[in-house]
Structure 1
Amino acid sequence: MKVILFWFLSQALFCTLVFAHHLNGEHHDDEHDDDHHKIMPYLQIAPSNARFSYKLYSQLAAEYPDDNILFSPLSISLAFSMLSLGAKSQTHTQILEGLGFNTSVFLDADINNGFKQLLQILNRPKVDQQLSTANALFVDQKIQLLEKFSEDVKNFYQSEAISTDFQNSEEAKNQINSYVEKKTNGLVKDLLDSLDQQTVLVLINTIFFGGTWEYAFNENFTREEDFHVDENTVMKVPMMTRQGEYLVAFIQEPGCVVVDVPYKGNTSAIFILPDAGKLHDVEKALQNVSLQTWTKLMRPSLIRLSVPKFTISATLDLKEELSKMGIKDVFSDNADLSGITGAPLKVSKAVHKAVLKVHEKGAEAAAATAVGITKLSLPQHVNCNRPFIFTIIHKELYSILFTGRVVVPVK
């Protein structure tokens, strides 16, 4: 009888979004790239990570047209790529193809070395922001991981193996929840409700991001204003406003404004504000063009930017969502995860949770928020007072850390 593998993904985001004025880099994917960029492993996997992000977002947007969306494509990719180290045959192929990798082009070594280097960059000490990710394997004390799998997850994914008594499901649940709470700076608590008694292995991935705006909003300018959820629903939200120069693109078709809002350091928030009633048109357009295409059209512009102050969270059933993207066998009795323990295993559950906080905090004094306003003409007002899309990118890695949609900013 197959032993059930319980696979659990937790990721948390704590970010303080702030708006500033320039994009430090963009993805170079033409033949004129320098040799250094061509051979860097983390750059080789970046396009695949982006494809996975667009595909999953489009799927969720179609399934939940009126709901908030939030997830970390990078976190999901990291965890399932780590799982693929123990997968074989069709199970292995489905996982990598589902994550956006063409297995006829990518070698396993290319993918694993790419994620290894990516993790090294993500987890190096930073002055301007908090950004870290952690992988862990909670292993039943009665089973033994295969030596190669154990060495590979440690080498490529910096994962630690933690002995766990899954026969005492309550104790095991508390042990895992405590780990997640600690790694997410207390943001995600009691995430795991229960554990199946047949569980022998829990795979955990956490990611924490605490960003500081390059230019903070002045809290004194935050006002209660209307947010138009849809044509018939209006709600009051605390709206932050700042005037300054940002990289902006006005896209006539399908009708949206794209604004680059950098943090201190090497991350940036890209806000996509569809014209009224155009949210789903913009989302459909993103299936055919990459965000990079639109960001290339950005130019410095003086604008008055308004964004709601909000907190949203979202939980995804990855077993359901990834199965629709072709990752099926790993969740079924056809799973071949024999590279983990040598015993028959399958993934019985996969959960992904994200939390996003947006507020005014930044390291700059309030008076500094007016620096750079030099024009006397009235600037255009980019007012996020209706549903919008956002993406948080790591500029050095050319990777999407988080992406989502805000339909209801206050719940």
Structure 2
Amino acid sequence: MKLAVIGTGYVGLVSGVCFSDLGNDVTCVDKLSEKIELLQRGEVPIYEPGLKELIEKNTEAGRLRFTTDLTAAVQHADIVILAVGTPSLPNGEANLTYIMGAAREIALSINGPKVIMTKSTVPVGTNEKIENEFRQFSLHPVSIASVPEFLREGSAVRDTMNPDRIIIGTTSDKARQMIEELHRPLTDQILFTDVRSAEMIKYASNAFLATKISFINEIANICEKVGADVTLVAEGMGHDKRIGSSFLKAGIGYGGSCFPKDTQALIQIAGHVDYEFKLLKSVVEVNRDQRFNVIRKLETILDDLSGKTIAIWGLAFKPETDDVRDSPAFEIITSLLQRGAVVKAYDPIATDNFRQNLEHAKVKYCHSAKDAAQNADALCVLTEWKEFRNISPTEIQAWLARPNLIDGRNIYTEEELENTGLVYYSVGRPNMNNGVKEQTPQLSF
């Protein structure tokens, strides 16, 4: 098929590249000429394992191209894929300015019947607004469909090529047939719904996963007080098929481009129909507070943080990506700076992106994990990069001025910490905390 993908962010770029690898003729469009020029040179504006190789392969095969010329791309296509960003407004609502602007530009450009496939995450009812734009500004009929994406940054190529399911929300037989044919090489797990249900599925899925993360973090906090180990608790829960083991890893909370934005947007969607989503509001509150457990544990060990040097390992919101959007590191480092600490920070990939958003005289951005930890009063692990897992606690202790380690992602085991003198704090594993311990209360019934 001939596809035009409008928007070359994570969703648009990965989707377009993967569709080209399936043998389709794909043109990716973006207004940012510098991004398109970068892609035309074979360079990639985001860090995503496997993506660069697929771009090179399919560009050379003539199936993939990049342009700023939306009109030419749309007129050449059978299916136009909307993958424009929908960032949060200050009140948490999704900003639809860009996607509605793109829809109008497409409507003014099309030269015949087209299928319009929305992959952007949009509030319920948005595709109806998009359809109205075409009715108002286009002379040609279009078939509208909502096909939400469920890819994860860091494994986006793998997720796109091996999806759990494909959701196709449409009332058009033509759109249903063409989009099913497009996705059939990927999976036979295809669910057809109405448009509004497809829009809601995306938000409901992300909100539920965010809820699992906040839930296990609350359980971790209780585990620390009653002497239970959250890793064992999560394992025991995960064997229950009704619950499952995914997203039950305790830590310092979620971040990134999806969960924070989509939970806030769903709260706003509910509010617009006079429904207070109390559970999801609590999920968001728990997630934000979880980040500050790192600060609380540092203060338990060091008391006054003023003048102390704190090493930070990990600035991306998760490993295998350079995305720092809503990374817990922002609030943690900002809180440290407010307390007068000096911060030394390192990330294998995301340092430049992070520094563009937080440039401060008391933050030293380092070129290695060792450089960051050297002579620090404490080290905080905020992202579970494999590089950090491969550094032994013995090495960490030798680098630090004072042997304090806050493991916000539970990457170290009891065996690895044995025979070290580290004052160690993890999340929800009180048996491993060998610093100033809270006394486990005696429970009676």
Say which structure is richer in strand: 1
Say which structure is richer in helix: 2
Q: Give the TM-score taking structure 1 as reference length.
A: 0.27
**Higher gyration radius (CA):** 2
- Ranked by relative contact order (alpha carbons within 8 Å, sequence separation 6 or more), the top structure is 1
